[in-house]
Structure 1
Amino acid sequence: MKRSIIQKEIRSDDMKRLFLMRHAKSSWDSPGLSDFERPLNDRGLNTAPFMAELISRRGLLPEFFISSPAVRAMQTAKIVKESSGSNAVLRFDERIYEASPNTLRQVVSEIDDAIASVMLIGHNPGLEGFIDFLTSEHESMPTAAVATIDLEIEQWTSLAKNCGRLVSVIRPKDEAQKAGG
């Protein structure tokens, strides 16, 4: 089921909010590079700042960024952070690359509870599986898509199956069509 953006909703201050972003479009043009080393292509380099502006304008900026260190994810994370004007901390965690939903749960559960909102930049199929784990929603996450999930938890260590509610999924292609592009 496709969801378009739902504007900010009233939510409890003690809830956690998780943004899951798939890295922007990457290049397959250099056969000598490993999958981990693949950079963003031109489309990805254009889409990442477009998405950053969009989430910033909609008030969907996190307090903390955590990303896969794969080149395409790292580039996406840095572009989104800088283009959105965020001064949040950006950290890289090698476990996010090729992560299962359970590994993503472990990574997020280690975040300091003083932080209420986090953006994790990673890869499929782990991200789609993590959305399903947290919300029982089956959503497609094309490159540069951002899912917003409100979590009925006060501590990141409390992440559990179905503890979240999918608020929105923003897909670049849908947003470009709305903008007439």
Structure 2
Amino acid sequence: MKRLCLLRHAKSDWSDPSSDDFDRPINARGAKAADFMAHYIAHCRYRPDYVLCSSARRAAQTCAPLSEELGASVPVEYLDILYHAMPDILLAQAQGAPDSVETLLIVAHNPGLVLFAMALSHDPDDEISTRVANGVPTGGFIVFEFPDAEHWSEIAEGTGNTVFFGRPRDLMSESRT
């Protein structure tokens, strides 16, 4: 079985309107969420063993604490093609992952990320998919399982079970209780 995790980059800094979109960093709130999500993802049951990340600055900054938490044994590949990638590109990148990888994480951007998530779900009306369709905030984390896939090339639209969706705000609140 293959498992695909999607992580939207953390909240970006809009204080410099002249900044190029690709080079926009995360803000202080985004850095706090990125640190929290890094710890959460590295220690949850959906821990990835391979990461594909957009090379945009805010995505790379989101991924940096996660890379530290996961350690050197989990490769992180930064790809320009993931910058504002739409579902077809995201699917192609997932399908091209090494078959030795069981849990793949892709760190990318909306709107492509949420469109991809909706396309993957075999049941777009289930509770988790409905929550995803209502919006994936910055730092949002979605997990799909593909029980019939032994190879990444076998995953396709409409074949994933949406098993988890967490928003940093909610997960931070739960960790305090």
TM-score by length of 1: 0.86
Contact 2:6/2:113 (<8 A) preserved: yes
Moved over 4 A (4+): none
- Partner residue of 1:6? none
2:40 counterpart residue number = 54
The C-alpha deviation readout for 1:15-63, integer Å capped at 9, x for no partner, is: 1001100001110011221110000100111111111112233232111
Contact 2:94 2:152 survives alignment (8 Å): yes
Deviations 1:96-139 (A, max 9, x none): 11111111001111111111111100001111111111103341
Which segment drifts farther, 102-111 or 76-85? 76-85
Match of 2:140 among 142, 145, 151: 145
Tell whether the 8 Å contact from 1:17 to 1:118 is kept in structure 2 after alignment: yes
Equivalence for 1:80: 66
What is aligned with 1:116? Answer: 102
The alignment of Structure 1 onto Structure 2 pairs a total of residues equal to 167
Letter in 1 for 2:138: T
* Residues in 1 aligned to 2:2 and 2:66: alpha-carbon distance in whole angstroms: 21
Structure 2: gaps spanning 5 or more residues: none
Distance 1:119 1:166 in 2: 14
Q: How does 1:20-59 map to 2 (within 5 A)?
A: 20-59=6-45
**What do you get for the CA RMSD once the two structures are aligned?**
1.6
Unaligned runs of 5+ in 1: 1-14
Q: Secondary structure at the match of 1:39?
A: coil
